[in-house]
Amino acid sequence: MNPEQFDQELKKHNFELTQEQKEQFKIYFTKLVTANEHVNLTRITEEEDVYLKHFFDSLTPLFTFKKVFVEGATLCDVGAGAGFPSIPLKILMPGLKVTIVDSLAKRLTFLKDLIAKLNLSDVNLVHGRAEDVGQNKLYREKFDLVTARAVANMTVLSEYCLPLVKKDGYFVALKGPKAEDELENSKKALQVLGGKLIDEEELTLPDTNEERTLVLVKKVKLTPKKYPRQAGTPRRKPIK
């Protein structure tokens, strides 16, 4: 998907990019591939792949779960790495108030520079593990939306993300193909952590066979204080 095809695809979803937004994606692409020569950020570096597999892919929740993406909402992106999905979402919806949590300082250094170059406001960077951030009063149960792509399986991810979601807010997981087993295995964790599975949508990226699954979980109850457990425990001893 080249930048023109990207514009066309977004139009199909009723998003007409301004000149400024087109420029922001262009700068994002350039900075990503340049920085990637020194810091390990992505394996995807061809322009058409970056526009499809990073930019468009990051925006699919916005097209699929429209009603939960409200201008002015607070969004926390857990394990955003080089900014996916939150930075493309922020470019398209400038009113979002974004917090990015990642445990790797080098990636946050890249993001700090990127945010300045893209002239984005209301993007807060937090260096830390989701398990610790989820126990920090500043962040716990403070977000309308929490997103994560390619960070952990659904059970572990739920323990990272749900503690950060406000009651009645949403957790959106961007998953690959065939996520049913993962989802089935996470049922207990969702229930324990106060989540309720609302929707699960399968889609294919335009003009490809690239399959994705988007999962929408609503926080229906507060998360018990003991979660998230100590850093490393969710992965070592997933909730069963």
Ligand X SMILES: C[S@@+](CC[C@H](N)C(=O)[O-])C[C@H]1O[C@@H](n2cnc3c(N)ncnc32)[C@H](O)[C@@H]1O
- In the set 17, 27, 73, 104, which binds ligand X (CB under 6 A)? 104
* Site track for ligand X across 174-213, x = CB under 6 A: ----------------------------------------
- 87 in contact with ligand X (CB under 6 A): no
CA distance 178 to 113: 36
Stretch that binds ligand X, among 25-33, 100-108, 191-199, 217-225 (CB under 6 A): 100-108
Choose among 64, 75, 70, 87: nearest CA to 216: 64
- Whether the upstream peptide bond of residue 228 has omega within 30° of 0, thus cis, is yes
Task: Show Cβ contacts of residue 4 under 8 Å, excluding neighbours closer than 6 positions.
Answer: none
- In the set 9, 102, 144, 159, which binds ligand X (CB under 6 A)? 102
Stretch that binds ligand X, among 2-10, 61-69, 149-157, 192-200 (CB under 6 A): 149-157
- 151 in contact with ligand X (CB under 6 A): yes
Enter the tokens of residue 17. Answer: 């990019």
217 alpha-carbon distance from chain centroid: 14
Element (H, E) at 161: helix 154-161
CB of 38 to ligand X, least distance (A): 16
Nearer to ligand X, 55 or 160 (CB): 160
CA distance 19 to 157: 36
Enter the tokens of residue 188. Answer: 């207990």
* Site track for ligand X across 24-63, x = CB under 6 A: ----------------------------------------
CB of 16 to ligand X, least distance (A): 26
Number of helices followed by number of strands (H, E) in the chain:
11, 7
Binding residues for S-adenosyl-L-methionine: 79, 84, 130-131, 149
